[in-house]
Structure 1
Amino acid sequence: METTFLTRITLNPTIGHGKPTIRNTRYLVEGLLEYLAGGDSIEDILQQFPDLEREDLLACIQYALTTLKVQSANLAA
């Protein structure tokens, strides 16, 4: 099943200084991506944060990819 980040990632100016977070949590997308970039597996992160779901982490990756594509398109324009 394809994960859509739109149902899992939220932007709220009163949470995380308006940075993207996992819905209904205070987990910053940026922070979770740093764990992945640092070598932690999805399973490692899920053990450390049992209230997260695998789809939350996949949504973080999808959000980052989409953001990068938009920024790249804007630079190319």
Structure 2
Amino acid sequence: MTVSESQSLLHRIVIDAEICHGKPTIRGMRYPVESVLEYLAAGDSFEDVLAEFPDLEREDLLACLQFATQSLKMRSWQLVTA
């Protein structure tokens, strides 16, 4: 994926204090990025998520993944191990 494509996808993610308490959402709809990532992390395929939420597009799911990637790059995480 090129930098241009990556930036284009990120435009699909909206942070608005009036929508979902300011959590990042897809295209300003009430689909939090966090929820979509949870579906994907639980093993749902893109096709599963798109069938469940017909308002969403494949590029929206890619945007969620790109947003998560960019968020991790901006933060330093320390994993706690048991």
The structure 1 segments of at least 4 consecutive aligned residues displaced by more than 4 Å after TM superposition are none
**Letter matched to residue 66 of structure 2:** Q
Cα RMSD of the aligned pairs, angstroms, is: 1.8
Runs (5+) with no aligned partner, structure 1: none
Q: Which has the higher helix share?
A: 1
What is the aligned partner in structure 1 of residue 51 from structure 2? 47
Runs (5+) with no aligned partner, structure 2: none
TM-score of the two chains, using structure 1 as the length reference: 0.87
> Comparing 24-33 with 3-12, which one deviates more in the overlay?
3-12
TM-score of the two chains, using structure 2 as the length reference: 0.82
Q: Distance in 1 between matches of 2:74 and 2:28?
A: 26
Count of aligned pairs: 74
8 Å CA contact retained: 2:19, 2:28: no
